[in-house]
Amino acid sequence: MCGAIFDAPTARNQLAALEKITSAADFWQDQEKAQATLQQRKQLEDRAGAIATLDTKTSDLDTYFHLVAEEANDAQRDALLGDISAELDAADKFVSELETKTLLSGESDRMNAILTIKPGAGGTESQDWAEMLLRMYLRWAEGKGFRATIIDSTPGEEAGIKSATVQIEGENAFGLLAGESGVHRLVRISPFDQAARRHTSFASVFVIPEIDDRIEIVVKPDELRIDTFRAGGHGGQNVNKVESAVRFTHLPTGIVVQCQNERSQHKNREIAIKVLRSRLYELELEKRRGDVAKLDATKSDISFGSQIRSYTMQPYQLIKDHRTKVERGDIQKVLDGDIDSFIRAYLLSRRAPGPAQA
């Protein structure tokens, strides 16, 4: 049952106030602030238009039902019933997406996301699994119309990746992906095992919000160790010949971030400091919640018993989320980026009150 409440009048009033800001002569003087304002305006436009869209869908369905009731021709009636089925599916998807948005009320949910993937023990097997997860999230972001940029990636020796960090820009990107943090377990017949035996692999996913300039996080220059190095890659004419990649070590916390995506060292520094500020922000939030141990996913054992979700490819096909108990058998569709059902179930479980204690 959907418990969403859409306050269209308030959204329209806020939109009117934003229109005055965007029409100001000096609006584009601060590019980042202007982009943030435009993103806020889009969110309000979506909220204000939600009720109108629902009214339209309801009216369309009502018209279809009247046409079916009055249609005497069996073939025409069947065609109309097919249209009704399609309209109901579209309406259900629309309402589900709206409900998901209403579940994103945290102070960081609206922000972009920074997602890091690391393989567990197991060498090539786990590194290949980590790359499969990376592809899954990139495909998910593409399907959402989000912008995903790999800002750092270390390839494995034979296959897969040793680590990857991705910046995902889009409405509520962090709120949607926050529940993906944790250990993901894969069971399959290994393509790297000549005996075709079944293997279990693990990889961790760690998601933090990318903070904007409205949140003040001070990074003192004397607290940083800055290293530069040549960007890695698989070789070829385009591999950097200069030390454009940057690694920042925050000495007080031991946090290490690096970026090698851009050819310009200046641009890599800019992205790396943004990731560092985001990690420091998340650290402060975790301190407030008194749960610092959960901050770094790599501190937990990436092994049996610690997974949030299991992906079984052989001897049967099943994906099971161990927190929400959601199960799906269309594993390839999920690995191609269709993870919204897991995201929505996690958000619903986070909102729902826990079971009564005996």
Its pTM stands at 0.68
- Beta bridge partners, 343, equal none
Give the neighbor-by-neighbor strand order of the sheet with 224-229: 224-229, 245-250, 255-259
Quick one: CA torsion of 76, 78, 80, 81, rounded to 10 degrees? 170
What distance in Å separates the CA atoms of residue 28 and residue 172, rounded to the nearest whole number?
A: 24
Place of tokens 């579940």: 103
Place of tokens 């990857």: 164
User: Taking the CA of residue 197 as centre, how many other CA atoms within 13 Å lie in the half-sphere pointing to its CB?
Assistant: 7
pLDDT tens digits for the chain (358 residues)? 344 445 667 777 888 888 889 988 888 988 878 887 887 788 778 777 777 788 888 889 999 999 999 988 999 999 999 999 999 988 888 887 777 777 886 778 888 999 999 999 778 999 999 999 999 999 999 999 999 999 989 998 889 999 999 999 998 899 999 999 999 999 999 888 878 788 899 999 999 988 765 566 778 888 889 888 877 655 444 445 567 888 889 988 889 988 887 878 888 888 888 888 888 888 877 776 564 444 444 444 555 557 899 999 988 999 999 999 999 999 999 999 999 999 999 998 887 554 433 3
What distance in Å separates the CA atoms of residue 302 and residue 156, rounded to the nearest whole number?
A: 18
Phi and psi angles of residue 323, each rounded to the nearest 5 degrees, phi first: -90, -40
Place of tokens 């009117």: 16
Give the neighbor-by-neighbor strand order of the sheet with 147-155: 147-155, 161-169, 112-119, 198-210, 182-189, 307-312, 318-321, 327-328
Contact 157, 186 (CB under 8 A): no
- Residue 176: closest CA among 140, 148, 211: 140
Q: Which class for 247: exposed (0-12), middle (13-18), buried (19 or more C-beta within 10 A)?
A: middle
